[in-house]
Structure 1
Amino acid sequence: MAKKTVKKTAKKAAKTNKMVYAFGGGKADGNGKMKELLGGKGANLAEMAGQLKLPVPPGFTITTEVCTHYWNNKKTYPKTLKADVEANLKKVEKLTKKEFGSEKNPLLVSVRSGARASMPGMMETILNIGLTEKTIPGMIAKTQDERFVYDAYRRLIMMYSDVVMEKAAGIEPKDGEGIRKILDGMLGELKKKLGVTDDTQIPAEELKKLCVEFKKTVKKVLGKEFPDEPTEQLWGAIGAVFASWNGKRAIAYRNIENIPHDWGTAVNVQTMVFGNMGETSATGVAFTRNPGNGDSHFYGEYLINAQGEDVVAGIRTPSPMNKWSSNAHSAHLPTLEKTMPKVYKELDAIQKRLEKHFHDMLDIEFTIEHGTLWMLQCRVGKRNGTAAVQMALDMLKERLINKETAVLRVTPHQLGELLLPAIDPKAEAAVKPVAKGLPAGPGGASGKIVFNSDDAIKLQAAGENAILIREETNPEDIEGMRAAAGILTQRGGMTSHAALVARGWGKCCIVGCSELELNPAKKTVTMGGKTYKEGDFLTLNGTKGWVYDGALKMLEAGEGNKNLAAFLKLADSIRTMKVRANADTPEDAANARKFGAEGIGLFRIEHMFYGKNSDAPLFILRKMILAGNEIERQAAVNELFPYMKKSIKETIKAMAPYSVTIRLMDPPLHEFVPTLHAKQLELAKALGIDMKTFQDRAAGLHEVNPMMGHRGIRLGVTYPEITEMQSRAIFEAAAELIKEGIKAVPEVMIPLTCDVNEIVKQKAIIRRVYEEVVAKTKVKKMNFSVGTMIEIPRAAVLAYEVAGEADFFSFGTNDLTQMTFGFSRDDIGSFLPEYLKQGILQADPFQTLDQRGVGMLIEHAVAEGREAKPNLKIGICGEHGGDPESVEFCHREGFTYVSCSAFRVPIARLAAAQAAAKEALAKKSK
């Protein structure tokens, strides 16, 4: 027996007593490698402040372990946390020469989330903490700007009442009735009354009155006073961030992105710096390279006299950082490079240092306060598939990264984006766009218009494509955005919420389409002089930002991307495991070759009866199944032979010179009995029997559990003439191809094996037929092999015996999973969703290989098989062969190849390369 091994799927971070880590003033307690403890944001703030000595506003990070404690202990904190926070707040006060809660020289802070993995907009941020009626006079005296101070106060009231008082308290108002929407409405009414369009145009006195009205409204709607005490605000905000980890939208995002729910978030408390202090102040978001197309120039947007939330919210059209960031909507606006050349030069130098230091494209947030630059954040930037591939190849050429890292820089999902549908150029050239926006997400999408997330979800459930149109998306739209085929927004720039999320998902998305005239209440939108209603069709070109009327013709996935072939060539140079395709026709084989398949790992003979032109062979197969004796059956077998030989020959030819694994017939017999009376009569006549006899024979084929019944190798054992006919078709097809000068490498696969003696009996037939064909055709030698599909647990357990007679193993993980779990893959819909929801299972075992159970059987079978036969060829041909996580498992277990559907071959090639790259990098690091 092979040695039993248990692999741990997750490694928990080591516990530490330290709960708060300070940064600022050129020093930091933590560093960039501490993402598990400090979260991505906190770790990178520490790295920027400490290692790189960048201008980072001082602050501190409360660790992810505190979040775990908070949720495991009824939303309470460790006993010493309060004292630790107070001590670190004192450090910030010393560095800033300000005092939290001071009436004369107040320190204001922001409180932000920061998980290990980026979750843009999914958790909470509260700005201007510490601003109260008592500290306002001191702020006015320090800034000499009353309007700015009251604008900051109204922002605090709006954010705090929404995030802390409403959401964290678990209040779930009806749509349109939340406190934030009510306060937004009051702000909008004030602007309307004053005849202004921008918040910055509201006078100080009016803002002061508005703050009073805001606080009255908060008390009336939420039944509690807005807290006007700095420490209460701080702890309320910290609690709200921890609470937001398990908010509805955060959970939904983690489910979509497969982020573990037990990671928790860190909390970052940081000194406020202000981009809304006049024309010499600004705030912005930038990327060290273009996240939309991978261009290597510095790219970003900024707003003069604004806070960070204004850039992301898309309230005003942001200005470009430089000429490389300019687009149709912002070309007329001044760049930061021209407006503040000294600051831009400093920022440009910093972004170059950051990219060189982190060896990746980074997303950075910055604030300029009275001409002084402050770095608020840096993190690995989200990018779409086109950009990811471009950046990986460029950074490899620039020697910023090695080839293993380059391959790991593109996720299988991102590579899949390059295989996404696109609009047919001919169809696109024939029409004009009805509107233009900013190209925020790749590819093309065509579908029916919807105006809210619920309708997008419903349309997806009905099997239809939705185009979700919103004024601007917000985190509450997360599930609808995921369900939609494409997203179109009226407002927002390339760093807006919709753009960031869509880019991370590779979702077709157009933002900032200001030509839209939306009427969400009536569910209509007007553009290009035409009004569209819910259910009308639109087509989006997310690569160009163009919107078209109607449903345009779409191209097949993957056509025309210049970098795809180069990147996959790079991946192929690293991987050690072959990638084959599951293909049942010559057309499938040709497609598989186009996607880079190195052979066929599963050719299912009986699938020739499912496609076009299958009426004649299907009728003959039915005659064979319903034959009442050996003579009738042999006649049907002989009649079926030429069809089978033709199909096999054409497929081997299409895949030459690669191997083709041909699985002997495995049809559940009952599925091939006709149900239509006319077809039954026709078949009875062909068999020369009456309907009573026909019905008796059909009834005899009925099985209580046909998936475990008379199929696979059992068919060949009971009717050896069927195995003989299939073997003859395979070898004659191969012999004819060899005579034509075409390399033919057939691999005969015996399905559903449970005992080595089945293989012994079937191999005797196969070998005899081979010798007869060689003698008949005078072909000197044929390169062929006989193996088995391991899909029954008993065969896996007895792999040592089986390998003695098999030239190869191919794991049929669909059935192996089904039989190991005792789940019927056709009937899991009634209970599996609940298993996943309750966490009983972490993933659908028919989508991602169950490594703990099924994987252990495979591991045992591989070890036993190779002990019996060291050079045993091993593959996988179940659907798991195209799942990246499962492919990595196969690499780790030393498989020769994986096989999957043709369209998943590029994904499997990348996954196999990434598995090899991880292994290589791990060896280098030792």
Structure 2
Amino acid sequence: MIVNFKQAAELDRSLLGLKGSGLADMVSLGLSVPPGFIITTDVSGRVSENNGALPDDVWQGVLDSLREIEQQTGRSFGGPVSPLLLSVRSGSNVLMPGMMDTILNIGINDAVAETLERETGNSRFAYDCYRRFLQFYAEIVLQIDKRSIQEASRGVLNRANTELEEELGEEHMKDVVAALKKMIAGAGRGEIPDEPLEQLRAAVRAVYASWNNPRAVTYRKLYRIAMEHGVSITVQAMVYGNLNENSATGLMNTRDPTTGEKHLYGEFIPQAQGEDVLSGRLAPLSLKEMAGAMPEAFEQLKDAGRLLEQHYRDMQEIEFTVQDGVLYLLQTRRSPRTARAAIKIAVDMAREQLISREQALMMINTETLNQILHQNIDSSVAVKSVARGVPASPGAACGPVVFDSDSAERAAEAKQAVILVLPETTTEDVRGLAAAAGMLTRRGGRTSHAAVVARGMGKPCVAGCDAIEVNADAREFTVGEVVVREGDIITIDGSSGRVFLGNVPMRRSQLTEEFRELLVWCDEVRTMGIRANADSPDDARLAVEFGAEGIGLCRTEQMFQTADRLPVMRAMILSPTERERREHLKELSAMQQQDFIDIFNAMQGRPVTFRLLDAPLHEFLIPLETLLMEVALLRAQGARGREMEAKEELLSKVLALKETNPMMGLRGCRLGILFPEINEMQVNAIFEAACRVARNGGVVNPEIMVPLVGHVNELKLLRGQVDAIALKVMERYQVLIPYKFGALIEIPRAALTAAQLSEICDFFSFGTNDLTQTTFGFSRDDAERKFLLHYLDQGILKKNPFETIDVEGVGRLMKIAGHDGREVKPELILGICGEHAGEIETIRFCHSIGMDYASCSSFQVPIARLAAAQVAAAAKTPPA
């Protein structure tokens, strides 16, 4: 379908694309827009089926619509007098700024250039238009590389003693046109037709093809934009910002897109065309200077901005051209903005009663909020990165490089912030990350171990940075020809995945007044509770600061990973008898008890869900490969005596604990069944702490959660253990502590037998990390390292199931478990505590199945509060 801008106002927006919709709206509002027409998105499929060429009936529609433009402008396309030139632009239904191509000044040739020169009396203008067209056509239609196009002008620029074509006079501009023609003729990529209609046909075809250019494809992958979205084409009469000194081109935002402040923000360039502003080649002037130089056009622009913002109820970015003092609007769209600006704009507009509070909530993209919750690179400073990986955990960190956890801990003791660089991570590296300011890994993804732990700690992490080669033995990594040695300073940006050499300026982010107000509105709207995953007292305090209503997951084994506790934990594991194990457990119990007291005090009566020991025991020991090397070295040196015996005994124990598939082995509730003294220690510490806090006047709300449950009989046995220990401690303190007992649902069988489990439980919490692994049969780290990206590229999976919940498989299990559990026990509480819990699509699904709460990392709590509010608001709003 082909429609003019006035007709387009009556059509479905999806047929017009964002650009076409904006043009249609501006025309209907009576604003000054150059005439044109839109080839709607439904045509793009037919173009693809026709090998990229316009079907005959569509081309006939283009010709008919072209006649309309000629009538409206009084100009003739390719005519001998009053020639009409055209622009061809693309428009999709999602914002893809600069990703697809535009061609300007279509319809020019030698004769038309001479006519423009004669009619305007401005030779430079006429041949500047010609020059621009030749460059556009050569690059976009003929696919000549940009370097060759730039080099074609080099001789002329040198003679004119300038680096910019825009600074050339009329004679030199003609020379550039001649040089470009010569380069194109010799490139062997085809010719530029003299016939304007053939130029137009080729331009439309090329702009359609740009939907699949590499940068557009990459952009869609980065922002998860469906490949099947159609593209519209806008053909429009040219207006000339390069005509004379009373002409200009520019871009205006109706508010500041960086801060959100309510003032006009933008730039303009006199005697230029639109791409000059976007390319950054020329130094622009401020809009304040435009107000002085072109006061009438500026006032019209300001009025148009006010009208468009009121119409769309959102900040607008407006592309404009002034031709000989007359203002024309070429585009309006929702302005891209920082997260901080987005929040201020939404809150301010609600205060101005331009929008409702619910509408303000819906204006914020939850995925961008990470920008303002962590320390970030100072965006006002221009600095070049040396490598780029996966932005695994947001924020920025700077410091000397170290290559192992011990070095990171030593640096932390010396109050020095360091960056831990590893080929990849294991659970043992938790302590290193805890000590480091941030982490850089060569392998891994957004849900790799490093990423999961880093997000939980609020530590920046760049993972999967395969541009670097890590040599931990040599204490260095290389990136290209650059060698970075231990002690050298680097900066990592976990929000963008970039790595920098040296110290890059950073800014500490703080919650603004508007953000805090927005979160209050969120809490008034949302119906789902938001808790935090917190493993330490510091984590708990941060969770409260960010508005968490409780702790939905406290991974108690993480408390054993510190330098002073790990040796005791190892000694407990290696103890040959239960009596010796209990001695070491008693020591660990005192340590955990104080942590639990501090957590209870921080949470002030909010629920705290303690997950009993989950990790396999071998994860607390020295890695097997390290031990084998140490023993081999000692044997080679002929070592004897106590040291050798101790090493061999340790090796024997580690070998005994080694499992073929540790994820499915002796971990979770199985540990508590085989070694009941471990569970006994932890449960005793929890209730000792609870009783002590309660006796001192505090309020506590403990919840005990059993991991990796697969059978109701496991749960019955462990419930009996927990109840007996809790009763014993409460009797000793003469304090009654209400508590809940629940299961972590992370095995399909647990979900499918939920009716049985609910008879024993007060709550279910879905551990979606492991439930995803066990449902798909994927190892998360192996999948992300070896084949998951391929699956996403090939379209086998549309989304990474470790980032967004797999509704059809994992989600169905959750729905079954929730339904069957509540059939038996209607008051059963349902929560989710996996890495998915802070992601809006997951929250939307959890809301739909009646989940009571989501628990995410502390730094994701504000994001989850907003996401839950958006989901609740959307559920209340009837579909349009």
Aligned to 1:336: 290
Aligned to 1:500: none
Indicate the residue corresponding to 1:799 in structure 2: 754
Between the aligned partners of 2:374 and 2:134, the Cα distance in structure 1 is 44
1:95 to 72, 79, 93: 72
How many Å apart are 1:120 and its aligned residue?
Answer: 1.6
Say which of 217, 233, 239 aligns to 1:273: 239
Aligned to 2:568: 617
1:583 corresponds to which residue? 534
C-alpha displacement of 1:604: 1.6
Residue 42 (structure 1) shift = 0.6
Matching residue of 1:263: 229
2:657 paired residue among 673, 693, 701 = 701
Tell me the secondary structure at the aligned position of residue 584 of structure 1: coil
Q: Which residue of 1 aligns with 2:356?
A: 402
Q: Work out the CA distance in 2 between the residues paired with 1:772 and 1:857.
A: 37
Aligned to 1:22: 4
Separation in structure 1 between the aligned mates of residue 345 and residue 33 of structure 2, nearest angstrom: 27
Partner of 1:164: 141
Please tell me the residue identity of whatever aligns with 2:518.
F
Q: Secondary structure at the match of 2:780?
A: coil
Q: 2:346 aligns with which of 373, 389, 392?
A: 392
Q: Which among 719, 737, 755 is matched to residue 763 of structure 1?
A: 719
**C-alpha contact (below 8 Å) 2:19/2:332 kept by paired residues:** yes
- Matched with 1:289 is 255
Work out whether 1:316 is the aligned partner of 2:282: yes
Residue 29 to residue 846, structure 1, CA distance change in 2 (3 Å):
closer
Please tell me whether residue 573 in structure 1 is matched to residue 527 in structure 2: no
When residues 826 and 305 of structure 1 are mapped into structure 2, their CA distance, relative to the original with a 3 A threshold, is: closer
Determine if contact 2:627/2:651 at 8 Å carries over to the other structure.
Answer: no
Question: Which amino acid letter does the alignment assign opposite residue 523 of structure 2?
Answer: D
Letter in 1 for 2:741: V
The letter for the 2-side match of 1:765 is Q
Assess, with a 3 A threshold, how the Cα gap between structure 1 residues 464 and 281 changes in structure 2: closer, same or farther.
closer
* TM norm structure 2: 0.82
SS in 1 for 2:153: helix
TM-score (norm 1): 0.78
Q: How far off its partner does 1:554 sit?
A: 4.6
Retained in 1: the 8 A contact 2:831–2:853? yes
Partner in structure 1 of residue 435 of structure 2:
none
**In 2 relative to 1, CA 876–181 (structure 1 residues): closer, same or farther, beyond 3 Å?**
same
Post-superposition offset of 1:881: 1.4
Assess, with a 3 A threshold, how the Cα gap between structure 1 residues 840 and 696 changes in structure 2: closer, same or farther: same
Cα root mean square deviation, aligned: 3.3
Offset of 1:203 from its aligned partner? 3.7
**Secondary structure at the counterpart of residue 645 of structure 1:** helix
**Superposition deviation, residue 850 in structure 1:** 1.4
1:103 counterpart SS class: coil
CA contact (8 A) 2:381 2:505 kept: no
- Does 1:109 pair with 2:75? no
Distance 1:856 1:393 in 2: 37
In structure 2, the residue matched to 1:648 is: 596
Matches within 5 A, 1:225-264: 225-264=191-230
Structure 2 CA distance for partners of 1:446 and 1:792, relative to 1, 3 Å? farther
Structure 2 letter corresponding to 1:825: R
Following superposition, the deviation at residue 410 of structure 1 comes to 1.9
CA displacement at 1:366 relative to structure 2: 1.0
Give the alignment partner of residue 160 of structure 2, picking from 191, 194, 197: 194
Residues 546-598 of structure 1, C-alpha deviations (whole Å, 9 max, x = no match): xx996267565x33644332332232232222221111111221222222222
Check conservation: 2:741, 2:762, Cα contact below 8 A. Answer: yes
Give, in whole Å, the separation in 2 of the partners of 1:566 and 1:256: 31
Question: What is the match of residue 41 of structure 2?
Answer: 64
Q: Which residue identity does 1:377 align to in structure 2? A: Q
The offset of 1:201, in angstroms, is 5.1
TM superposition shift of 1:136: 3.0
Question: How many corresponding residue pairs?
Answer: 775
AA partner of residue 2 (structure 2): V
**Deviations 1:619-638, CA, capped at 9 Å, x for gaps:** 34314xx545x555555544
8 Å contact kept, 1:103–1:136 = no
Give the 3 Å change call, closer, same or farther, for CA 549–730 of structure 1 in structure 2: closer
Q: Say whether 1:375 aligns with 2:329.
A: yes
**1:794: Cα distance to partner?**
0.8
Structure 2: distance between partners of 1:871 and 1:443: 50
Identity of aligned residues (%): 40
Q: Which residue of 1 aligns with 2:554?
A: 603
Deviation at 1:708, TM superposition (A): 0.8
Correspondent of 2:180 among 207, 211, 214:
214
Which amino acid counterpart does residue 33 of structure 2 have in structure 1?
A: V
Aligned pairs for 1:726-745 (under 5 A) are 726-745=682-701
Q: AA paired with 1:371? A: G
Deviates more, 1:91-100 or 1:359-368: 91-100
What secondary structure does 2:705 align onto? strand
1:756 counterpart letter in structure 2? V
C-alpha deviation, 1:213, in angstroms: 2.6
Q: Secondary structure at the match of 1:267?
A: strand
Given candidates 730, 739, 749, the residue that maps to 1:774 is: 730
Q: Return the alpha-carbon distance in structure 2 between the equivalents of residues 309 and 383 of structure 1.
A: 21
Give the Å deviation of 1:287.
0.8
Which residue does 2:617 correspond to in 1? 669
Match of 2:51, SS? Answer: coil
1:386-785 aligned within 5 A:
386-422=340-376, 443=379, 449=384, 455-457=386-388, 551=503, 554=506, 558-559=509-510, 561-623=512-574, 626-628=575-577, 630-674=578-622, 698-779=654-735, 781-785=736-740
Q: Rate the CA distance shift 1:846–1:317 in 2: closer, same or farther, 3 A.
A: same
- 2:8 and 2:21 in contact (8 A); partners too: no
SS at match of 2:234: strand
1:163-188 CA deviation, whole Å, 9 max, x = no partner? Answer: 1111xxxx6xxxxxx2x433333434
Change in 2 beyond 3 A, CA 1:456/1:768: closer
Quickly say closer, same or farther: Cα 1:778–1:90, change in 2 above 3 A.
same
Structure 2 residue runs without a partner (length 5+)? 399-437, 439-459, 461-481, 494-499, 635-640
Shift of 1:216: 1.7
Please give the alpha-carbon distance, in whole angstroms, between the structure 1 residues aligned to 2:650 and 2:682: 26
Residue 72 to residue 810, structure 1, CA distance change in 2 (3 Å) = farther
Question: Please, which of 784, 787, 807 is the counterpart of residue 831 of structure 1?
Answer: 787
Whether contact under 8 Å (1:809, 1:873) holds in the other structure is yes
Shift of 1:307: 1.0
**1:393 counterpart SS class:** helix
Deviations 1:507-537 (A, max 9, x none): 9xxxxxxxxxxxxxxxxxxxxxxxxx99998
In 2, the alpha carbon distance for the partners of 1:181 and 1:278 equals 29
CA deviations 1:281-330 (Å, max 9, x no partner) are: 111111111112111112221122111112222232212112xxxxxxxx
Contact kept? 2:758, 2:825, Cα under 8 Å: yes
Q: Which amino acid aligns with 1:575?
A: R
Q: What is the CA-CA distance between 1:883 and the residue it aligns to?
A: 2.4
Aligned-partner SS, 1:107: coil
Paired residue secondary structure (2:704): strand
Q: Is the 8 A contact 1:421 1:443 kept in 2?
A: no
Secondary structure in 2 matching 1:77: coil
Query: Which moved further from structure 2: 901-910 or 810-819?
Result: 901-910
CA change 1:803–1:560 in 2 (3 A) is closer
- Which stretch shows the higher mean deviation, 783-792 or 762-771? 762-771
Structure 2: how far apart are the matches of 1:288 and 1:223?
A: 43
Mean CA deviation greater in 880-889 or 744-753: 880-889
Query: Offset of 1:788 from its aligned partner?
Result: 0.6
Question: Which piece of structure 1 moves more, 634-643 or 850-859?
Answer: 634-643
**C-alpha displacement at 1:199, in angstroms?**
4.3
Provide closer, same or farther for how the CA distance between residues 633 and 456 of structure 1 changes in structure 2, counting only shifts above 3 A. closer
Q: Are the counterparts in 1 of residues 254 and 262 from structure 2 also a CA contact under 8 Å?
A: yes
Tell me the equivalent position of 1:143: 120
For 1:659, the aligned partner's letter is: P
Match among 781, 796, 801 for residue 845 of structure 1: 801
In the alignment, the residues of structure 2 paired with residue 843 and residue 238 of structure 1 have an alpha-carbon distance, to the nearest angstrom, of 32
Question: 2:12 aligns to what?
Answer: 34
Distance 1:374 1:303 in 2: 15
**Structure 1's 299 and 643: CA in aligned 2 closer, same or farther, altered over 3 A?**
closer
Residue 21 of structure 2 aligns to which amino acid in structure 1? A
